[in-house]
Structure 1
Amino acid sequence: MSHQAHLLTLAGTFLLVLLTLSLWFAYVLGVRAQRRRRKAWHCWRLVSFSFGCGLLVLALSPPMVEWGHADLRGHMAQHLLLGMFAPIALMLGAPGTLLLRSVPVVTARRLTDIAGSPLVRCMSHPVTALLLNIGGLYVLYLTPLYQLSFNQPLLHVWLQLHFVLAGYLFSWSIAGPDPAPHRPGMWLRLGVLFVAIAAHAVLGKLMYAYGFPRDSAHDLAQIEAAAQLMYYGGDLAELLLALVFFAAWYRRRTMSDALDWQTANRRT
């Protein structure tokens, strides 16, 4: 990467950091407004969203950016933070719910209508989210796109943003706490999660066995180490997402059983 392209990449990354901090500040203001209105908002959601923003800032910090440019292992660490761990923490913060509570009723209804539109429903479907998330990784690492991104600052910054957005969309489509009236059933989401785990593992094995991404400036030992980082780091992130999924499933079943018990008692 040329010196000018490197400076442009750093500038674009800095804008992403500013965007992250702005979103965190808006979230904090939303939580503060809820508490002023004496509306409950769990403290752990604020902590989770703040932790997710912190992971994004860490992944976009100058040392991580320099490591990611020089070493495929650094790039893979960025991918894990941006596309897997940070999105799970952000999703658990339920920013969509906070947004709907913070805006006027008319605006909230418009946002709900937009969320229920066919286009948004298609984009937020777990299968679509899977293709954007894991499918995007296959395109990046098994084609010349990875090497091309180091010569195109705009493309490089867009890929970082794509990691975050696709990772968040996938996490939310599987186990997001925000309201989603058209979200598919639990069994379909569980199946998509299992496919994602398998696809991510297969990609790591392909990179390790065949030296992808090819024609890059990284030696084989570095590629193998990055592939192992993707394999085991991805397993850990997907295990966390699975735990969130099953916790939500258990909570839903518990609430359903409680309602059935109350209904039975009323009838008797």
Structure 2
Amino acid sequence: MPTPPPGGDSSPLHAMTGLMWMPTAPPTFPRMIAFHPQPVPVIPALMLVLLIAYFAGVVRLRLRGDRWPVHRSVLWALGIATVLAMTATGVDGYGMELFSAHMVQHMVLSMLAPVFLVLGAPITLTLRALPARPAGRISARSILLAVLHSRPARFLAHPVTSLSLFLVSLYGLYFTPIFDVLMGTMWGHNLMLLHFLAVGFLYFWCVLGIDPSPRQASRGLRRYAGPTVRILELAATAPFHAFFGVMLMMSVALIVGFYRQPIPGWGIAPLADQAVGGGIAWGFTEIPTLIVLGVIFLQWQRSDERRTRRIERSAARAEAERAAYNDYLARLASADERRGL
């Protein structure tokens, strides 16, 4: 059963208590990581469906005799587990009481979990697992391919669009009344968390380039698919996150009104907690940035190796053809000599 807000607070800020687990004790690490399912577990249920669907696709490939990299499955499961750690544990409850806990949710759901999920290559798995389209008929695979090649997909995959959506999650959410409105209901809260996850997935899907995307299929966007552009796109977010974090840490007033009332007995001042949240927003970006940079450089290295091997094979074929032609000329000359010509 959901617990009432500490100290009997009946303000509208906690009107959603009936549909959310609300902590009554100050945060500790064991309380933060303890399993606390919500009465309406929207996101945890969705994550379990995605996990089952992914491994159903892997099993389908195995039964067909095809292989799927184990590390892709591990990364997808890790991404799902990361989302569950933010939405099915004490972190979610404390995120309703403390801005710092909410900022942990925001950073993990928008910057860490999407990296693992993208590295799991779910779109590639789906395209391989779905049956090919029968002649003259529409299939799920053909619909997915049509979506990937559609004009809206090309618009979303453009660097300006994906980067703008990613940054709006910071400035457009916290510096407008939108945050307080969404936090006022359980559905708004879950919608905001799903927004973090979806925008992060879109951004890193384009930056990492693991799965097929409109950037690879569209001639107009192909120039944005190179490693140099993707590294610059990744680096472009760093100053915005840093500035956002510094603003929160240096502010002498609360940015959002939802956390304006201190929790009785916890001894945590809202302004000080906001500064902690700013530090989290500033410093957390280092972890996913290093992971993504490592993946891009590894892709770059493997691309150079493949190009080198391709050039070497082409040179070897040309040398073999030249040697065969010279041998052919030598045999013709030898035959002419034997005939006395």
Q: TM-score normalized by structure 1?
A: 0.92
In structure 2, C-alpha distance between the alignment counterparts of 1:22 and 1:125, rounded to whole Å? 29
Structure number with greater CO (CA < 8 Å, separation at least 6) is: 1
Aligned pairs (5 A) from 1:1-268:
1=12, 5-8=16-19, 14-106=41-133, 107=139, 108-180=141-213, 181-182=216-217, 183=222, 184-186=224-226, 187-210=228-251, 211=253, 213-218=255-260, 219-268=270-319
In structure 2, C-alpha distance between the alignment counterparts of 1:129 and 1:212, rounded to whole Å? 29
Structure 2 unmatched ranges of 5 or more: 1-11, 22-37, 134-138, 261-269, 320-341
Equivalent pair of 1:13/1:157 in contact (CA under 8 Å): no
- The alpha-carbon deviation at position 198 of structure 1 amounts to 1.9
In structure 2, C-alpha distance between the alignment counterparts of 1:109 and 1:244, rounded to whole Å? 30
In structure 2, C-alpha distance between the alignment counterparts of 1:3 and 1:171, rounded to whole Å? 34
Give the SS at the match of 2:166. helix
Larger radius of gyration: 2
**What is the alpha-carbon root mean square deviation over aligned residues?**
1.9
Equivalent pair of 2:99/2:259 in contact (CA under 8 Å): no
Q: How many equivalent residue pairs?
A: 268
Please give the per-residue CA displacement for 1:215-255, whole angstroms capped at 9, x wherever unaligned.
44252211111111111112222221222222222222221
- Percent identity for Structure 1 against Structure 2: 28
Specify the code of the residue in structure 1 equivalent to 2:51: W
- The alpha-carbon deviation at position 56 of structure 1 amounts to 0.7
In structure 1, C-alpha distance between the alignment counterparts of 2:254 and 2:229, rounded to whole Å? 31
Equivalent pair of 1:52/1:89 in contact (CA under 8 Å): yes
Give the SS at the match of 1:127. helix
- Structure 1 stretch displaced more, 251-260 or 140-149: 140-149
**Bigger share in helix:** 1
Structure 1 unmatched ranges of 5 or more: none
Q: TM-score normalized by structure 2?
A: 0.74
- The alpha-carbon deviation at position 212 of structure 1 amounts to 5.4
Give the SS at the match of 2:65. coil
- Structure 1 stretch displaced more, 208-217 or 157-166: 208-217
- The alpha-carbon deviation at position 214 of structure 1 amounts to 4.1
Q: Runs of 4 or more off by more than 4 Å in structure 1? A: 1-4, 9-13
- Structure 1 stretch displaced more, 92-101 or 214-223: 214-223
Equivalent pair of 1:9/1:157 in contact (CA under 8 Å): no
